């Protein structure tokens, strides 16, 4: 479960992250393969924590770290609120 900033909880959504990262990477030289690998890495890092709940802010930080490795410019395309829910399309 993901704990959102307002305290509500929702199920983790791989698609939500993928869509956000894809939006940030629009018109950037990032492939869909790279985006899927990014989301895989984020999911694996969350599982490695061994927790049943995680704050959306933590997910955003994980995504930002992974995205910075792929494309620094794309990280600046994300609004601050998106850093905690992220997703992005390949060009």
Query: In whole angstroms, how far apart are CA 40 and each of 7, 18, 44?
Result: 26, 10, 6
Neighbours of 11 (CB within 10 A): 7
Query: Which pTM was predicted?
Result: 0.75
Neighbours of 88 (CB within 10 A): 30
Tens-digit pLDDT string for the chain (91 aa): 999 999 999 999 999 999 998 988 888 888 999 999 999 999 999 999 999 999 999 999 999 888 888 876 666 655 555 444 443 433 3
């Amino acid at each position: 479960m993901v704990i959102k900033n307002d305290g509500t909880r929702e199920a983790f959504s791989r698609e939500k992250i993928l869509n956000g990262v894809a939006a940030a990477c629009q018109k950037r030289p990032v492939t869909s393969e790279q985006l899927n690998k990014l989301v895989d890495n984020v999911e694996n890092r969350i599982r490695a924590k061994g927790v049943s709940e995680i704050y959306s802010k933590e997910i955003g930080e994980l995504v930002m770290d992974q995205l910075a490795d792929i494309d620094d410019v794309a990280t600046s395309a994300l609004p601050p609120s998106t850093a905690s829910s992220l997703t992005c399309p390949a060009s």
